[in-house]
Amino acid sequence: MGKAEHYLHAPAAHGMAAHGKLAGKVALITGGTSGIGLASARLFQAHGAQLAITGRSPDALRQAGAALDGQALVLRSDAASLEQIDAVMAAVKQRYGRLDVLFINAGVASPAPIEQVDEASFDNQIGVNLKGVFFTIQKALPLFDGPASVIVTTSITNRLGSPNFSVYGAAKAALRSLVKSLGLELIARGIRVNAISPGPIDTPMFDRLGLPDAVAAAKKQAIAAKSPSGRFGSADEVAKAALFLASADASYMVGEEIVVDGGMSLL
């Protein structure tokens, strides 16, 4: 993939909710084709936002575009590629002229014991989960025109020890620091930077961990049993926190990380 490819050239947005917490706002959601990102895209759209979403899988991009009624700008882009981040920003600028909400949600976990982590896996997890996040914020700055909200998806693994998730957890922990530093650096420009830290959320992510089906199912059952809430959270429950941070409801929140984990990290 050289440049961000447009999968759907939707007609100019019309008939959007005229009211709603994001009425008239333009939002870009990375990793917007599945799970938390797609649930947030739907909720943001229902609240009047005009959307751009990214992902890599062509099938998922098409399906997400249809789920958003053909109204969203759907872009194929690798979150770790600076060249492709540039192309995404250029496409958003061309379509909408500006950006108000940036939800950097694309993430990847490749769990493995320390001996089995090779350089490619290390670089990929750091590239998508940390480097790509930093440069997505940097490259979005020229598109912000007035008050803006940047939201980053971290994880409760960034505070808890998580065996076999050491690289993923380290990248997410770095994001916690990034959100505080950039929160302070950018607030004078009216740009609020905050994070959402999900606990176990029922999304396709668990199916992508490369675990055998039976092992994945047993792990999910054990996690649900351990959760104080007795269950996984839903992507919709995280999307509601994203909407809060994206909207003016969170106008005085800077450098904060909202935990949405059913109490898991309190144990």
What does the binding site for ligand NAP look like in residue numbers (CB under 6 A)? 31, 33-37, 54-57, 60, 77-80, 105-108, 128, 153, 155, 198, 200-201, 203-205, 208
Nearest distance from residue 237's CB to ligand NAP, in Å? 11
Answer whether 33's CB lies under 8 Å from 60's CB. Answer: yes
Is 17 or 82 the residue whose CB approaches ligand NAP more closely?
82
Q: Which of 37, 140, 145, 34 is nearest to 91 (CA)?
A: 140
Q: Which two tokens stand for residue 111?
A: 């769990």
Residue among 37 and 255 whose Cβ is closer to ligand NAP: 37
- Sign of the CA dihedral 234, 235, 240, 244? positive
Residue nearer to ligand NAP on the CB measure, 23 or 86:
86
Evaluated on CA atoms 78, 143, 45, 193, the torsion sign reads positive
Q: How far is the CB of 145 from ligand NAP (least distance, A)?
A: 25
Structure token pair of residue 42 = 């739907």
Query: Of 70, 63, 62, which is closest to residue 45 (Cα–Cα)?
Result: 70
User: What contacts 24+ positions apart, CB below 8 Å, involve 183-188?
Assistant: 183/254, 183/255, 183/256, 184/254, 184/255, 186/141, 186/150, 187/254
For ligand NAP, the closer of residues 22 and 108 by Cβ is 108
Which tokens in the block code for residue 152? Answer: 């980053």
Give the active site residues.
168
Residue closer to ligand NAP, measured from CB, 17 or 224 = 224
Q: Output the CA torsion sign for 152, 253, 88, 38.
A: positive
CB of 15 to ligand NAP, least distance (A): 26
Task: Kindly state the smallest distance separating residue 34's Cβ from ligand NAP, in Å.
Answer: 3
- C-alpha dihedral (106, 178, 180, 249), degrees to nearest 10: -20
Nearest approach in angstroms of CB 264 to ligand NAP is 10
